[in-house]
Amino acid sequence: MSSPATLDAHVLDLAWGGVLYWLALGASALFLQARPGLLVRLIFPLGALGALFVAGIGVAGLLLPASSMVLPIGLPDLPFHLRLDALSAFFLVLLGAAAFGVTVHAAGYFRSMAGGPLALLAMWYHLFLAGMAMVLLADDAYAFMVAWEVMALSSYFLVTTDHKIAEIRRAGFLYLLIAHVGAVSLLLAFGVLQGGHGDYTFDTMRAAGVAPFWASAAFLLALFGFGAKAGLVPLHVWLPEAHPAAPSPLSALMSGVMLKTAIYGLLRVTFDLLPMQLGWWGTLALALGLVTALYGVIFAAVQSDMKRLLAWSSIENIGVILAAFGLTLIFRTEGKGELAALTLTALLYHALNHAFFKGLLFVGTGSVLHATGERRMGHLGGLIRSMPWTAWLTLIGALAIAGLPPLNGFVSEWLLLQAFLLTPGLAQPYLNMVIPVAAATVALAAALAAYVMVKFYGVVFLGQPRDPALRQAHEAGWPERLGMLWLGAGCVLLGLFPTQVIQWLEPVVRMLTGQRLPGIGNWLLLTPVSAGRASYAPLVFLAGMAVVVGLTVLWVRRVYHGRVRRSAPWDCGYPEQDARMQDSAEGFGQPIRQIFAVFMRVERETPDPFDRQPRYRGDSRDKVWLLVYQPIADATAWLSRQAGRLQHGRIQWYLVYSFATLIFLLVFAR
Amino acid sequence: MMALAFHLQVVNLLAALLLLISFAMLSQRRVVGLVTLFAWQGAALAVSTAIVAGTTGQYHLYYSAALTFGLKVIAMPWYFYRLVRKLDVNRVVEPLINIPTTMLIGILLVIFAFNLALPISEMSGTVTRSTLGIAIACVLLAFLMMITRTKAIPQVIGFLSMENGLFFAATSATYGMPLVVELGVALDVLVGVFVLGIFIFQIRETFDSLDLKHMEKLKEK
Amino acid sequence: MSTGILLQAAQTLLAILLAPLLMGWVNQCRAWLQGRSAPSIVQPYRALRKLFHKDAVLAHDASPLFRFAPYMVFASMALAAGIVPTLANDLPFSPAADVIALVGIFALARVFLALAAMDIGTAFGTLGARREMLVSFLAEPALLMVFFTASLISQSTALPVIVATLAHKAFAIHPSLAFAAVAFWMISLAENARIPVDNPTTHLELTMIHEAMVLEYSARHLALIEWATAVKLFTYSALGIALFVPWGIAAQGDVAALPLALAAMVAKLAAGGAALSLLEAVSAKVRLFRVPEFLGTAFLLAVLGMLIHFLLEA
Amino acid sequence: MELFWLLGIPLAGGVFLALWGCRRNAPEINALFSFLTLAVASLLTARIVESGPMVVGDGWFFIDSFNVFLVALTALVAFTTALFSRPYMRIEQEHGRLNAARLRLYHASYQIFIGAMLLALTTNNMGILWVAMEAATLATVLLVSLYRTPASLEAAWKYFILCGVGIALALFGTILLYFAAEKVLGPGGTALLWTHLNGVKAQLEPTVLSLAFVFLLVGYGTKVGLAPLHSWLPDAHAEGPTPVSAVLSGLLLNVALYAVMRSKVLVDGALGTDMAGSLMMGFGLLSVVLAAFLIKRQTDVKRMFAYSSIEHMGLITFAFGMGGAVANFAGLLHMTMHSLTKSAIFFAVGHATQKAGTQLMDDIRGLIRTNPTLGWGLMLGTIAILGVPPFGVFASEFLIITTAMHEHPWATPFLLLALGVAFAAIFGKVQPMVFGETGLPRLPHQPAQTPVFLHLGLVLMLGLFIPPYLAAWYRQAAHLLGG
């Protein structure tokens, strides 16, 4: 009896040790200021090891029962409480696994910026990792908020690494502002949840029964707060600015992991801390999620900056995850526990997948950036020839995020769609109306994601180099390749062994929904509900594919021949064609721009046909900025103008204020 | 109810006088006139303090009476006269709001003050219960005067006559604060006036005028 | 089990081998309808054989992706053909991928073809790729919705089960399926690059969609792609049959029923091909900007089908 | 005994420095005196922490954990500010903005000012409290106008008149208090002793006390800088020398609020209603919101942080207004954090403005390029004051906001709005000052880094770990305030 208990305690100690380890690394980075080379070769690999360690802790946490501990720091009545249960364990695995690949890549990536503020960067980087881990471990509101803001703050400083550029400063400012407003609303949410008399541990929150009204208030506040971090439309505006601004490994971590911490928080508050769930929350979340997904993917399709494109696609994925969240809520409140379990599994699975493929894609763009110094797709192309490793590994990520079998992106979408098909018989008729539309939207988003990825990959890696300098682009170094290799392998394995993964997710699902999937199937065949209902066998699929390809190749070579002649591209006999005749990123965006013109404000300047150096600039702005944020800014400006009127320098008037206040109080306040 | 003892009637008379002087100050346009009125107010205050001291045997009030006399009747007026002559700022100054309106507001304030003081003076154990309302009225009127004046010195005088009101409240309503406090307050007032003197010279030499309208630069653009 | 595997192999091979025949039949019908002298029905086979014999010509900087794509496309289509029950139902390979996975397979093939088209970096290649993806991002969800309608009726996304329920259960009228059928027809026109979305026989590059992507291909690569296209048409037809007129498909392990099933299939395919060519003959290709509207309609119909199922049949 | 020295040292220092005058090591002597004060203060604190509250000087002085904590804070910040003003004033002198005579005035009245505040904190007599407050005002008036520029004169004039009037009203409140007290305690010296008043507060006449509290609140509230009585504050902070801004923001406002709290305790006892509390909440909210919107339109860095002081004072007042153990605790904590952080910010800002030769934020750019420690000091200080963890300001804001959400939900939208606006305004203005390119020169003297990072270090530590005895001390104080 006692032995497992002690074991758990140790697990949590180890987790906390991992956090401290990262903190120590960050601190020690400052002392290596003088030795940038050593810094990169030593600190980052060590950090990567830490990530691996944390992932291991997470796996252990999934297997062991929940354990908690109290740290000697924090507020007097409120020391830091830590807790490691299945939910935090799963996200720890996500964090560690993704961070490992990214950090290994970083070890290579940051060599380029030796001489820069590398020491500070390394410090903030590890502080960021530690902060995210703490968010997952925290078991009281104060610890959670501290970790949450440390995460935001460190990432802010990382985003503004290159603070000489005004746009980057603006991006960082927008990011930190929205993060802070979100944090305050989280504070309010915890204020509602607290048991009163200043007890903020999650345990008392679980115990404290909240009236439905206040529960809804807390949920909405939490949705706002976490949505601001996750990039939920219309709180997403910072995301496409901040993620591209950061150094690529950072973009990878922010997109791949940090957004997930918001999902973690949402799950924690909704299913763990709140005593009840209400149906309309689910509908709201579902609607918001679908809007976000569609919005994100549409804007991803019209971007012409590769990191920006990926950032928008992150918004899309968050949208899908949120939709799954909403669906889980609906099923939960409808008393369809098994379906809730299914959607939750899809949610977690997709979160994990996104961490891998989005991390992979971002570090891929990092290597491209590193090799070419170019982010604008209009100046890239044909890199598959000069940097094959990067290209082929990125291809895995692109196919995975496009949701193509047999990679991992497909599995989670498959699970989610299955859930949609199981909906008939919900109590509210309106849900029965909503579900098909929702399913259609998800499908549409997935299809558009494929469009986006073909655009991304084709323009950046295929075709003719749009810039002669690109022919000399050098391949990524070994650390970078290793990092991408790890992440790519993750995408493949998660795609090929869904049953095992789902078994690992099982404790989390049981903890949150109190239910388990009706069936999982064997290692080969994934049958989430029942064999008759639906089945998917990626391994068989892959084998079949391989067999057919092999046979075909064999047969073609045997029966006929393998002779190949090389020549100039035919291109319908057009002789002098050059790289600028290829479709540009803008060109690829054009149809989408036409179809979904309502969402965006298009600005473009088209060159004069006789221009020798023609320049084309097409820019599709986000209308939300105009419709939501501009008015808010104007309103504040107006109000502050009015407030300024009070302060007009005349002492007599100031005396009048005091006088009036005095009289007023004498009249009314007695 | 029986007629009050003679000295109390005197105190009430002086109270009325204070109020009257406050009104007079409100309506006074010339700086020198203001200073004179201020001196008279001080005198009235000193006398009433002395009477209260005599009747109630609160002998420490004699000190404060003397203090008042010395400071507010002799020292400060003399100082202000010098200032005015030196800086030659003794011309007619139009207040912000015209006199009649100011008067009207003043009347309203007095009524308000009396209503305010009524419940309190009911429970007052002191002989001079009704004077508290007058004291409040004086304070408010002085406040009003500070608001309406656009020159530095009148504002200062308004400030000081406010202190007069306070003193009067202290003496008449409570037979005076503890001596230490009285002394401390007096000291503060003295230092305050001294500092003000320095100020007024600085202002004068910086803006070569004591008009407050030069001092409206610090504001929200 | 072994019979099952045999059947599986047989059916897949049959599909692959028969596919060009269907293509030829369609072309023949259309020629007749247009009053031209029709090519022989085996013309596609001849074309393929010729292509396989030629030397492959590759652009100088064609990447491995470019050479690998045709095999990938062919393999995907072969798999698809293996999943869709044409003759017999519930074959051993079918559990490996349900309808959603089927859509995934089509998407896989399409993405690879599009990437390959962009690889050389010619104007027409990239143009074709873009148009193809444009068509697909509307057609794919629509197809998914059609499948959903069917699988909502049959409580399953596994094709065998769907077919079984639709074919072997007591006959029931599903108005939702009517919508689905129309949507499916429109989608398959688009997906198989037929008029009115695309013209498989055009030689005008600017109007091309599918053809523009394969302009750079030659010889065996082109042959594989053409063949894959034929298999795709065949698979879609088989799908249509399986979803909307499934009667005659042999149930699991029912070997005796196979001849009948074969006959039924041939008949249905012939009818379908004729109908397709008829439609192509009477309709004109729409402008590219209209294509999204066309597909949007299909998408809408499919979703309507689902809604109607929820309204009337759930 | 410590008490005697505590009050004696600054006064002696003031006199000595006035006489010692402009010899070149005056700044060091100033720092030395401040250090001695700090030492005595810590001794006193230790005494109180171990042996509880004490009344000395036959009842004239009273020290409990509430004011001893403020004494310690005051002495500490006074010392660090003296350290900071050493290089700062030297540089000012070299820039020719000050001459020796003014420096003498500065040092002398600095000590007097500190002494006055310590007196205000430690006295037991509400009248003396008033006297000391007035003295502190007078001591700072001349400091505000130290530069003798038109602007500084105007600021000082407004400061003097507005605070003078305010303090006069406070005096009237005190008189009313005495008026009510003497009927219970009888006339004479004891009637104004807080301890006595506290003993009989239940019997004090409610109507009089409520009236008195209105006057006291308006009076001392003017010095706290509660809107709409705050008008003097930004001018005084912006135009005075930076060390003065630091002590004004960091200390004087606290002391004024201390006075308000002392009277609130009495009034609550007498009325038994939460009239005082709701008044303070109202003032607090108004100040927070108004200040936030005014911050948005600032161009002068010191002015902006002055408004942020108003905002934080409003927050503290709001917390005390809510009352209750948690809120009072949070209020005290926030007092500490704000003093430390804001003075640290003013230190950094002071050197920054000296570098740039202007207080206009548009002309201050890219500090971390030329002077990294200074830049990071300003950046971290700003982040701390904006309530971002792990800095301690967040700890108190956390408690305040969550409690407000629990007790008075109606107030939270205003808080949310104000905090958001203030964050956007301040951070959006500070970021370009710290980051980006710059053409600013280096400073002639080594700027004072120690005070900045000492304060920020303390704030950081208190955000993550509050030592038990400190916590116990806060709890006692919170309890004294009626928690």
Domains held by chain C: number:
1
* pLDDT for residue A216: 92
Res. A1: pLDDT tops 50: no
* pLDDT for residue A3: 46
Spatial CA neighbour of D38 closest among D90, D78, D91: D78
Kindly identify which residue of chain B lies nearest to residue D136, measuring between CA atoms.
B188
Q: Give the domain range for residue C157.
A: 2-313
**From CA A67, how far away is CA A13, in angstroms rounded?**
10
Residue among B179, B191, B220 whose CB faces D297 most closely: B220
- Give me the residues of D, 318-347, that contact B with CB < 8 A: none
On the question of a cis peptide bond just before residue A406, with omega within 30 degrees of 0, the verdict is yes
Residues of A in contact with B111 (CB under 8 A): none
Res. C137: pLDDT tops 70: yes
> What CA–CA distances, in Å, run from B183 to B136, D11, D59, D128?
22, 18, 18, 10
Testing the interface with D: which of A19, A148, A661 to mutate, by most D Cβ within 10 A? A661
Residue among A643, A649, A655 whose CB faces B219 most closely: A649
**From CA D19, how far away is CA D23, in angstroms rounded?**
10
**Does A541 contact C299 at a Cβ distance shorter than 8 Å?**
no
CA dihedral D331, D337, D341, D342 (to 10 degrees): 30
Return the partners of chain C (3 or more C-beta pairs < 8 Å).
Answer: A
**Does D218 contact A661 at a Cβ distance shorter than 8 Å?**
yes
**Does D150 contact B198 at a Cβ distance shorter than 8 Å?**
no
Query: Which amino acid would we find at residue D44?
Result: L
Q: Which residue has the tokens 């999902």?
A: A263
- Give me the residues of B, 140-159, that contact A with CB < 8 A: 143-144, 146-150, 155
Residues of B in contact with A645 (CB under 8 A): 220
Which ipTM score applies to this complex? 0.90
Question: What is the rounded end-to-end Cα distance, in angstroms, of chain D?
Answer: 31
**From CA A486, how far away is CA A107, in angstroms rounded?**
14
Res. A530: pLDDT tops 90: no
**Does B162 contact D168 at a Cβ distance shorter than 8 Å?**
yes
Res. A140: pLDDT tops 50: yes
* pLDDT for residue D280: 93
* pLDDT for residue D439: 74
What is the average pLDDT score of chain A? 87
Percent of chain A with pLDDT over 90: 42
Res. B3: pLDDT tops 60: no
Residues of D in contact with B191 (CB under 8 A): 135, 138
* pLDDT for residue A428: 74
Q: Which residue has the tokens 């090591």?
A: D25
- Give me the residues of C, 271-300, that contact A with CB < 8 A: 289, 292, 299
**From CA C6, how far away is CA C122, in angstroms rounded?**
44
* pLDDT for residue B118: 80
Q: Which residue has the higher pLDDT, D181 or A529?
A: D181
Q: CB of D142 within 8 Å of any CB in chain B? A: yes
For A551-587, give one letter per residue: b (16+ CB within 10 A) or e: ebeeebeeebeeeeeeeebbbeeeeebeeebbbbbbb
* pLDDT for residue B194: 82
Cα D252 to chain centroid distance, Å, stands at 4
Spatial CA neighbour of D306 closest among A143, B172, B218: B218
B152 and B208 in contact (C-beta within 8 Å)?
Answer: no
**Does D134 contact B188 at a Cβ distance shorter than 8 Å?**
yes
Res. B99: pLDDT tops 90: no
Those residues of chain D that have pLDDT short of 50 are none
**From CA D341, how far away is CA D80, in angstroms rounded?**
12
Res. B1: pLDDT tops 50: no
What is the average pLDDT score of chain B? 82
Residue among D169, D275, D294 whose CB faces A662 most closely: D169
Split at pLDDT 50, 70, 90, the class of A370 is confident
**Does D398 contact A76 at a Cβ distance shorter than 8 Å?**
no
**Does A652 contact B112 at a Cβ distance shorter than 8 Å?**
no
Which residues have C-beta within 8 Å of that of residue A233, sequence separation ≥ 6? A288, A291, A292, A295, A296, A315, A319, A624
Residue among A141, A173, A670 whose CB faces D214 most closely: A670
Residue B88: what are its φ and ψ, rounded to 5°? 45, 65
Residue among C79, C98, C158 whose CB faces A548 most closely: C79
Q: CB of A457 within 8 Å of any CB in chain C? A: yes
Mean pLDDT, range C35-45, rounded to an integer: 87
Split at pLDDT 50, 70, 90, the class of B90 is low
Res. A356: pLDDT tops 90: yes
Residue D187: what are its φ and ψ, rounded to 5°? -65, 170
Residue among C56, C123, C136 whose CB faces A563 most closely: C56
- Give me the residues of C, 110-129, that contact A with CB < 8 A: 110-111, 114-115, 118-127, 129
Residues of A in contact with B148 (CB under 8 A): 652
* pLDDT for residue A670: 61
**From CA A177, how far away is CA A242, in angstroms rounded?**
12
**Does D168 contact B166 at a Cβ distance shorter than 8 Å?**
yes
B124 and D126 in contact (C-beta within 8 Å)?
Answer: no
Q: CB of B219 within 8 Å of any CB in chain A? A: yes
**Does C123 contact A581 at a Cβ distance shorter than 8 Å?**
yes
> What residue ranges do the domains of chain D occupy?
1-167+227-257, 274-483
Kindly identify which residue of chain D lies nearest to residue B216, measuring between CA atoms.
D154
Residues β-bridged to residue A621: A601
* pLDDT for residue A176: 92
The DSSP-derived string for A497-533 is -HHHHHHHHHHHHHHHHS---S----SS-B-SS-TTT
Distance from CA of D123 to the nearest CA of B (A): 12
Q: CB of C78 within 8 Å of any CB in chain A? A: yes
Q: CB of A544 within 8 Å of any CB in chain C? A: yes
Kindly identify which residue of chain A lies nearest to residue C305, measuring between CA atoms.
A436
Return the partners of chain A (3 or more C-beta pairs < 8 Å).
Answer: B, C, D
**Does A647 contact B220 at a Cβ distance shorter than 8 Å?**
yes
Mean pLDDT, range A279-283, rounded to an integer: 89
Which residues have C-beta within 8 Å of that of residue D375, sequence separation ≥ 6? D366, D367, D368, D369, D434
* pLDDT for residue D290: 93
Split at pLDDT 50, 70, 90, the class of B125 is low
pLDDT per residue over A232-275, tens digit each? Answer: 988 999 999 998 888 889 999 999 999 999 999 999 999 988 88
**Does B147 contact A645 at a Cβ distance shorter than 8 Å?**
no
Residue among A169, A181, A196 whose CB faces D431 most closely: A169
Kindly identify which residue of chain D lies nearest to residue A641, measuring between CA atoms.
D297
Q: Which residue has the higher pLDDT, C312 or A665?
A: A665
Mean pLDDT, range A630-637, rounded to an integer: 91
Query: Which amino acid would we find at residue C149?
Result: T
* pLDDT for residue A48: 92
* pLDDT for residue B2: 44
The dihedral sign for the CA sequence A626, A627, A628, A634:
positive
* pLDDT for residue A669: 67
**Does A191 contact D405 at a Cβ distance shorter than 8 Å?**
yes
B12 and B128 in contact (C-beta within 8 Å)?
Answer: yes
Residue among C134, C161, C310 whose CB faces A432 most closely: C310
The pTM of the full predicted model, rounded to 2 decimals, is 0.92
Q: Which residue has the higher pLDDT, D269 or B177?
A: D269
Task: Please state whether at least 3 CB pairs lie below 8 Å between chains D and B.
Answer: yes
pLDDT per residue over C269-314, tens digit each? Answer: 899 899 988 888 888 888 888 888 888 899 999 988 888 887 776 6
The DSSP-derived string for chain B is -PPPPHHHHHHHHHHHHHHHHHHHHHH--SHHHHHHHHHHHHHHHHHHHHHHHHHHT-THHHHHHHHHIIIIIIIHHHHHHHHHHHHT--S----SS-HHHHHHHHHHHHHHHHHHHHHHHHH--SS-TTHHHHHHHHHHHHHHHHHH--BHHHHHHHHHHHHHHHHHHHHHHHS---HHHHHHHHHHHHHHHHHHHHHHHHHHHHHSS-BGGGS---S--
**From CA A91, how far away is CA C178, in angstroms rounded?**
46
Residues of A in contact with C53 (CB under 8 A): 560
**Does B159 contact D164 at a Cβ distance shorter than 8 Å?**
yes
Q: Which two tokens stand for residue D45?
A: 């604190």
Res. A156: pLDDT tops 80: yes
Q: Which residue has the higher pLDDT, B93 or D416?
A: D416
Residue spans of alpha helices (H) in D95-205: 100-122, 126-144, 150-185, 194-199
For A233-259, give one letter per residue: b (16+ CB within 10 A) or e: bbbbbbbbbbbbbbbbbbbbbbbbbbb
Res. B128: pLDDT tops 60: no
**Does C122 contact A583 at a Cβ distance shorter than 8 Å?**
no
> What CA–CA distances, in Å, run from A394 to A484, C66, D417?
8, 16, 44
